[in-house]
Chain A
Amino acid sequence: MKLDRDQVLHIAELAKLGLSAEEADRFTVQLSAILEYFELLDQLDTGAIPPTAMAIDQHNVLRKDSAGASLPVETVLQAPRTIGQFIAVKAVLD
């Protein structure tokens, strides 16, 4: 399956990446190659293997509900921009 340039730009938009025209062209080729490799894997007959969500054989890894220490606020506030005890970013509108 070949990705087209618009799909690559859409993915870049979702990942909040700005691509130059040259990069968009280059990634279109590279990402298509990756997808083609998955198509190769897809040819394997996996009908007899149950689907899995996890590569390691573990389940029900749960912890007791108890609160412990958090980070010191000074550590958290090493963010690039803070206002008061808040971390601040350029305004988002929604």
Chain B
Amino acid sequence: MPYEAVIGMEVHAQLITESKMFCHCSSAYASAPPNSHTCPVCLGMPGMLPLANRRAVEATVMMGLALHCAIPLFSKFDRKNYMYPDLPKGYQISQYDMPFARNGSITVPLEQGIKTIRIRRVHLEEDTAKLTHQGGYTLIDFNRSGVPLIEIVTESDIRTAEEAWRYLVALRSILRYLGIGSGNMEEGAMRCEVNISLRPVGREELGTKVEVKNMNSFRAVRQAIAYEIERQTRLLEQGERVEQVTMGWDEANHRTVFQRSKEGAEDYRYFPEPDLPPIIWTEADIDAIRARLPELPDAKLKRLIEQYALKADDAYLLADERATADYFEVAAQACAGVVEAQTVANWLLSELLRLMRESGQELSANPVTAGCLAELLKIVSRGEINATVAKEVLAEMVSSGKSAPEIIQTRGLKQISDADQLRQMVEQVIAANGQAAQQYRDGKDQALRFLIGQVMRQTRGQANVSIVESLLRELLAR
């Protein structure tokens, strides 16, 4: 019997703020010595009063708006009670029944088209302290305690590991566009919990939900979900029951492992946080926050496709990061009427970004500005150098910071378009490669590719390919 997975996700994302959620301690917890960013509020001392960070509150509303959520005019904080050493107060300040945002959606591109995933809610809470385990002790660093954290919960609309992964990528992209979070999973700035159940295809009712945790990268989320779907399918096919449990992803062994049973489910005894007055918005407040939203990834994607006639896949890659999209647009506009926007996109995506990865540079901080790339591409379009040489030039532009004309000049890389000069070389190549020449005459077109390659080699890539090709065809036809 074929099964389908029904997946819901809870993502926690740290917000980028200067100070913590409810106190003035710096929220730069990662770089600081342990317990150096703490105060009576974030240490949970009795009698201390929290004061909510406006920027974090507004960032949560921005995220809600970016996810097309409704923003209730009234919302409040609640206490979620549980005992754990990472939580000094014995409760976490969170939001229960009146979150800042609810009922939204996000779109993700899939091979079969665009899919909409519904967002149930976005709420704001505080992060917990960081625990490490050493010998018989648990060590606590309270620097992270009280760092603002948003939780984004989907409806169970996700069906595959691929969709879950696309969802996370889209979410990260929005966080970065808004400038409110890094979405970096490896650094723990974004974490996710996934609940997965299986049901026979076509059936309405849900199977037993299994929760999966402990995934520290986008790849791990994808692998964990794929593994868990397989594990549950196997159980069901063998006529066994899926237990309602929490599983953890075991990165070393690439499998999910049992963590704990869900029996005696959490009893958090939520109640309204008496120390924090509610937040009441006017429509004007929300409009003012909405006005601060930049063009978001889905809108940018649509515009890039329409305005620049880009391939959808390329537009998607460009739109993922705001800086990449901005770079593209500046370069494409500088090339307007000379070089096609799709060509600019190709160079940016396959050449320049690869060079960035190899040299560990950020696109926005590298010496090759969008204007520099445009200059290079215009030189190519004028036929002064060919694409192969241009790739070398670009690599040197990145490493040396020199401009394209300067590199072409000093290295004497100008394309050879002189037909007489090329004719000589082509004749030599035909003479030296009699077998290939014969194969071409016998109708094997690949042989022509080989001969072109030989000419290019002799000229260190500087020959004008189209002239070489027509010369070869002409001389071989004799």
Interface residues of A (CB under 8 A from B): 10, 14-16, 53-56, 58-71, 73, 76-77, 81, 83-92, 94
Give min CB distance, A51 to chain B, whole Å: 10
B37 at the interface (CB under 8 A from A): yes
Interface residues of B (CB under 8 A from A): 17-19, 24-27, 33-40, 43, 51-57, 76, 81-85, 98, 131-142, 259-260, 267, 269, 272, 274, 276-280
Given A71-B38, A83-B134, A92 contacting B84 (CB threshold 8 A):
yes
Neighbour of B280 across the interface among A55, A59, A77, A83, CB < 8 A: A59
Neighbour of A88 across the interface among B38, B51, B139, CB < 8 A: B139
Give min CB distance, B86 to chain A, whole Å: 9
Contacts of A94 in B (CB 8 A): 84, 259-260
User: In the bound complex, do residue B38 and residue A61 qualify as a contact, i.e. CB atoms below 8 Å apart?
Assistant: no
Number of A-B contacts (CB under 8 A): 127
Return 22 A-B CB contacts under 8 Å, by A number: A53-B76, A54-B272, A58-B277, A59-B278, A61-B276, A62-B57, A62-B279, A63-B51, A63-B54, A67-B26, A67-B27, A68-B25, A70-B39, A73-B33, A73-B35, A81-B137, A83-B134, A83-B139, A84-B139, A88-B137, A91-B133, A91-B136
- Separation of A14 and B24 alpha carbons in the complex (Å): 31
Contacts of B138 in A (CB 8 A): 88-92
**Which 7 pairs from chain A and chain B are nearest by CB?**
A68-B24, A86-B139, A65-B55, A53-B272, A62-B54, A58-B277, A67-B26
- Separation of A59 and B53 alpha carbons in the complex (Å): 14
- Separation of A69 and B76 alpha carbons in the complex (Å): 28
Neighbour of B139 across the interface among A61, A73, A87, CB < 8 A: A87
- Separation of A42 and B402 alpha carbons in the complex (Å): 79
Given A87-B142, A91-B136, A63 contacting B53 (CB threshold 8 A):
yes
Give min CB distance, B211 to chain A, whole Å: 14
User: In the bound complex, do residue A54 and residue B274 qualify as a contact, i.e. CB atoms below 8 Å apart?
Assistant: yes
Contacts of B34 in A (CB 8 A): 84-86
Contacts of B52 in A (CB 8 A): 61-63
Given A87-B35, A89-B138, A71 contacting B280 (CB threshold 8 A):
no
User: In the bound complex, do residue B142 and residue A76 qualify as a contact, i.e. CB atoms below 8 Å apart?
Assistant: yes
Give min CB distance, A62 to chain B, whole Å: 4
Give min CB distance, A65 to chain B, whole Å: 4
- Separation of A26 and B154 alpha carbons in the complex (Å): 45
- Separation of A76 and B41 alpha carbons in the complex (Å): 12
Contacts of A65 in B (CB 8 A): 17-19, 53-56
Give min CB distance, B73 to chain A, whole Å: 11
- Separation of A77 and B84 alpha carbons in the complex (Å): 19
User: In the bound complex, do residue B139 and residue A70 qualify as a contact, i.e. CB atoms below 8 Å apart?
Assistant: no
- Separation of A91 and B85 alpha carbons in the complex (Å): 10
- Separation of A11 and B478 alpha carbons in the complex (Å): 98
Give min CB distance, A44 to chain B, whole Å: 20
Contacts of A81 in B (CB 8 A): 137
Contacts of A67 in B (CB 8 A): 18-19, 24-27
User: In the bound complex, do residue B18 and residue A86 qualify as a contact, i.e. CB atoms below 8 Å apart?
Assistant: no
- Separation of A57 and B432 alpha carbons in the complex (Å): 94
User: In the bound complex, do residue A60 and residue B279 qualify as a contact, i.e. CB atoms below 8 Å apart?
Assistant: yes
- Separation of A23 and B50 alpha carbons in the complex (Å): 35
Give min CB distance, B34 to chain A, whole Å: 4
Give min CB distance, A33 to chain B, whole Å: 20
Contacts of A15 in B (CB 8 A): 83
- Separation of A54 and B76 alpha carbons in the complex (Å): 10
Known A-B contacts: A55-B274, A62-B52, A65-B19. Give 17 more (CB < 8 A): A10-B267, A54-B272, A54-B278, A60-B280, A62-B57, A63-B52, A65-B18, A65-B54, A67-B27, A70-B26, A71-B38, A77-B35, A85-B35, A85-B36, A86-B140, A91-B133, A91-B138
